[in-house]
Structure 1
Amino acid sequence: MASLCATVLFESRHDALERAKENSRNVALVAERDIERNFELYSLSLQAVVDGIGRPDVMALPAHLRSQLLFDHAITAEYLGAMIVLDEAGNVVMNSGSDTPLKANFADRDYFTVQRDNPHAGLYVSAPYRSRLRNGSPSIALSRRLSHPDGSFAGAVIIAINLEYFHQLFAGLSLGRHGAVSLIAQDGTMIMRQPYDPAVVGRNIRNASTFRHFLAASEGSFSDTSSIDGVRRMYFFRNFPHQPLIIMVAEAEPDIYAAWRRRALTIGTLMGTFAIGFVGLSFVLATQLRRRMRAESELQLLARTDSLTGLNNRRTLGEILEQEWRRARRARSVFSLLFVDIDRFKAYNDQYGHQAGDDALAAVARCIGENIRRPADTAARYGGEEFIVVLPDTLLEGACAIAEKIRHAISELAIEHAGSEYGRVTASIGSASWSPDKDADVTQIIKAADQALYDAKARGRNRVAMCAA
């Protein structure tokens, strides 16, 4: 019996470590996706300026028109500085927000020298530095090269990111009292670390034992002692797929095993009071039951949701429609549906690829979910690029207002779509409603919403049309 109890405690300790690994991995993925998404948007803005400067007709425009055109897509956010254009000597020749260039030279910055010396640098992420334009605030910069028609160096386009963005992002992550999360360049430069210490930012840790693990694989986990604060932690790391960055999440071993130690002490105490067999068997049965319940819950969730978008799947939609339809007829209340379809999605898939198409579907699904607020309102993926939103107790006018919010939010994602007449991913939405004085069934409402969607497409797309069932 003592062996059984020891085995259970050992497994429980192993489970605590596995849970910590999974939690660290989830935290790393959340941070990575946030950073990757923002960097992708910043990169697109930089590329738009590079492309514009390469067009003689754009550069021939008056300064104020040229500035408006070049920086029309420049991203503005709380933690971003101005976008600047440097010539081959590092002098500012253009900048967003002003027709008059700043009088400054940045030829000594790595984001300039790397582009100058390497024609194939692409999107470059600089080391941390203190900004000369924003009162010395710690920042990093993203840059892209400008080239003359013969390929020689013509300058660089720069956008600065305040390190406070990473500080605030990491501060919102829960990692225990002694946990840490870091963003590290692949050359070993520390860009940001939480707990935050200004002295650590910019330090190079390439000689640390932990950093050698980061370069050995695209992602993984291990236990080691930090070279910064001497705390032993379980590390999870992941190299960014598209940027020269590494996200590292580490939970301290005392935090990981704190609950396990309390449990072990309790079991040890109970062994002196109760029969060892009763305690050991109860613990094993409870552990197995929890695992089974968790597995069944996860399987049930997977069976009801669409794996790509996280919305309800078509099977679940049928159950929801049937339930809400019966309730509406019984309570004689209004009942509305929205039929959402992404415009020219096949052309988007053909041009940008299926991965980009999946990302666009997921982004649109988030927009839909974020714009339906009541607990009874539900959304589901109907098939392909089509979604249905169920709005119980909602008049047609209210449904159209919600549809317009969803349509506007999707458009504001500003996902580039060269095959669309709007230049971005948009959606058309059909709205239909049933009221107690009408003789119709749920199938007719879906058909009515579909017809309204067809009308919205016929009237030019990126709009909302309504049809009473």
Structure 2
Amino acid sequence: MPTALNAYAKTPMLFRKISGAFVARPALFAASGGFVALVMAVITVVSLYDMRTDALMRARDAADGLSLLLSRDIERNLEICDLSLQAVIDGMADPVVLALPMPLRQRVLFDGATKARDLGTVLVADHLGNIVFDSGALPPPPRNANLSDRDYFKVQRDRLSDALFISKPFVSSVDPPLLSIGLSRRLTNRKGKFSGVVLGTLQLDYFQHLLDGMPLGPHGSITLVRTDGIVLMRRPFNVGEIGRSLAGGASFTPVLKSEKGSFVGVAILDGEQRLYSFRHIGKYPIIIEVGFSTNDIYAQWQWRACVIGGVMGTLCLLLVLMSILITRQFRERLEIEQRLRIRADTDSLTGLSTRRALDIALQFETRRAKRDRRTLSVLMLDIDTFKLFNDRYGHVAGDKALRTVALCIKESVLRQGDFAGRYGGEEFCVILPGTALHGALHVAQAIRKAVYDAAIPHSASPLGIVTISIGAATLDGASGVEMTSSQLIDCADRELYAAKAAGGNTVMPPAQRDEKDANVESPLIAEQAPQL
């Protein structure tokens, strides 16, 4: 508990120190405001970038899920259709089935085909392409047509594999005039030679109805494409794009490199940039591509970014403007305080420092002389018989005489770091840091002579002009003698009284009393003392 109370008690002091630092250095406040605004801007940018990344990740997850769902549905239906074709192949290989009467044989061969959803006509063609069995011919015989010019026939004839082949989209000549694809398998005789094909047609309406129910956004797309790049179905549906090849396109090449994945690319068909998720459909040579437009993905993010960015940008701008305005206020306050301080520390009559400023400067220089083991000299000056001057010439003339004496002091104290002020009434004080007694007496004589040469008339003075008396005292910081600033002033005062007792226009102590400092340089050429 005491620790908490101490911390609480120190908080206002810490606040005052911080606020004082800002007031003393207005530029620091402006820099702090700018820094805070910059930090806020950076945090906002990072947050918006994270939101943008999250939007892309959510879209990728949705596209992956949608492509997985579609691929499983399509794979299941293709497998059912393929099983129907395989049942026909098995029946064709059974002599018992071939020996059955035509109506019964028709039912046995194509019974599985009638159960396959979305599967159209199932045909069996001989090695010349002529239809020999037709599930759509009820009652038999089959329709008279030749399929030898079709790709699904040529492929099965020219290759040795009996794998399922999926043809390009076409308009069937035996079914209603709808777009369909052909699923074919090779027939071989007992010697292993080509004996025909089994064909099943699958209407593209199945794919169109399946894709139309998927949520894609305004500019999304789903493309069902063969591994050689032939488009089987696409949403949005455009009949001119069905059967078109995408092979070699920038948005198709990545799908051939792996079984599944995602990438951002520009569509070949419409030039829209999309996030694509692709997946190969089981063992079949078909790929499903689900594409979400990047414009749709980032639409909500862009709106939020504009709102958040606008609000934070406005706040940052206001913060910077407020920092600038407050900085100006601080600077004006400092200037006012500086003027007030100068006015408070400057005697309005003489232009020299006030008694308060003298006391502060003397205390500071006394401590520094002791710390640095240096010398410090003080001159106490007083105008001789000044009361009689005021009585004879009046206070206006007395003020003018004070200003003249102050000017003589200013012109005689030449070093930077020396300090002169009005001690009170007609008394003045000069502080000479780093100056031994010999140098101080040199400055005192210069001041005394300058006042004497000013020749201010003073009929009550023995010399007929205004003169001053000066007392000097020195602190030797290297001597180890303890002396306060008040004691140093008392020493200079005693010398001043001695100078006045000697008749005025005098500097005390006399030069002969300073023999030990005879070889010390004049302060006019001595090293400069540091400025207060």
- Residue 254 (structure 1) shift: 0.6
Deviations 1:377-421 (A, max 9, x none): xxxxxxxxxxxxxxxxxxxxxxxxxxxxxxxxxxxxxxxxxxxxx
* 1:51–1:77 Cα change, 3 Å: closer
Equivalent residues of 1:114, 1:121 under 8 A apart: no
Partner of 2:83 in structure 1?
44
Aligned to 1:17: 56
Q: Deviations over 1:113-163 (max 9, x none)?
A: 111111214111111111111343111011111110110111111110111
Equivalent of 2:163 in 103, 119, 122: 122
| 1:105-184 correspondence runs (5 A) | 105-184=146-225
* C-alpha separation in 2, matches of 1:75 and 1:142: 15
Structure 1 residue aligned with 2:279: 238
What is the aligned partner in structure 1 of residue 242 from structure 2? 201
Asked if 1 retains the 8 angstrom alpha-carbon contact of 2:77 and 2:117, the reply is no
Q: Once the 2 structures are TM-superposed, how far is the Cα of residue 79 of structure 1 from its aligned partner?
A: 3.8
Q: Which secondary structure state, in structure 2, belongs to the residue aligned with residue 41 of structure 1?
A: helix
Using the TM superposition, give the Cα deviation of residue 273 of structure 1 relative to its aligned residue in structure 2, in angstroms. 6.3
TM-score (norm: length of structure 1) = 0.57
The letter of the residue matching 1:238 is R
Distance 1:238 1:73 in 2: 29
Matched, 1:54 2:93: yes
1:94 aligns with 2:133: yes
| Residue of 266, 270, 283 corresponding to 2:311 | 270
Residue equivalent to 1:81: 120
C-alpha distance in 2, partners of 1:117/1:77? 28
Unmatched segments (≥5 aa) in structure 2: 1-39, 318-532
Residue 136 of structure 1 aligns to a residue whose secondary structure is coil
CA contact (8 A) 1:122 1:145 kept: yes
Counterpart CA distance in 2 for 1:208 and 1:275 is 46
The separation in 1 between residues aligned to 2:246 and 2:59, in whole angstroms, is 24
1:94 CA displacement: 0.7
Give the counterpart letter for 1:206 in structure 2: A
Residue deviations 1:55-101 (CA, integer Å, cap 9, x gap)? 11111111111111111111456743211111111111111142321
SS class of match (1:90): coil
Following the alignment from structure 2 to structure 1, what is the Cα–Cα distance between the partners of residues 149 and 95? 29
Distance 1:78 1:48, change over 3 A: closer
Q: Counterpart of 2:128 in 1: which secondary structure?
A: coil
Task: Tell me the secondary structure at the aligned position of residue 241 of structure 2.
Answer: coil
Q: Distance in 2 between matches of 1:81 and 1:91?
A: 19
Where does residue 217 of structure 1 map in the other structure? Answer: 258
Q: Check the 8 A contact 2:180/2:203 in 1, yes or no.
A: yes
Question: Residue 26 of structure 1: which of 42, 65, 81 is its match?
Answer: 65
Larger Rg: 2
Cα displacement (A) at 1:239: 1.6
- Give deviations 1:299-343, integer Å, cap 9, x for gaps: xxxxxxxxxxxxxxxxxxxxxxxxxxxxxxxxxxxxxxxxxxxxx
- Over 3 Å counting, the alpha-carbon distance change for 1:77 and 1:46 in structure 2 is closer
Question: What CA distance in whole angstroms lies between the structure 2 residues aligned with 1:150 and 1:219?
Answer: 40
Q: How far has the Cα of 1:272 moved from its partner?
A: 5.3
CA distance in 2, matches of 1:66, 1:80: 20
Contact 1:42 1:75 in 2 (8 A): no
Contact 1:48 1:70 in 2 (8 A): yes
Q: Secondary structure, in 3 states, of the residue corresponding to 2:275?
A: strand
| SS of equivalent residue, structure 1 residue 209 | coil
Flag structure 1 segments of 5+ consecutive residues without an equivalent: 277-469
Asked if the contact 1:86/1:157 (under 8 Å) is kept, the reply is yes
User: What residue is the counterpart of 2:227 in the other structure?
Assistant: 186
Query: What TM-score, normalized to structure 2?
Result: 0.50
Distance 1:221 1:62 in 2: 55
Identity over aligned pairs, percent: 42
When you count helix as a share of all residues, which structure comes out higher? 2
Asked if structure 2 preserves the Cα contact closer than 8 Å seen for 1:111 and 1:143, the reply is yes
What's the secondary structure of 1:74's corresponding residue? Answer: helix
Q: Distance in 2 between matches of 1:10 and 1:145?
A: 55
Distance 1:63 1:222, change over 3 A: same
Partners in 2 of 1:40 and 1:12 — Cα distance? 42
- Specify the alignment match of 2:25 in structure 1: none
Distance 1:14 1:246 in 2: 27
- 1:351-430 equivalences in 2 (<5 Å): none
Query: Using the alignment, how far apart are the partners of 2:316 and 2:240 within structure 1?
Result: 55
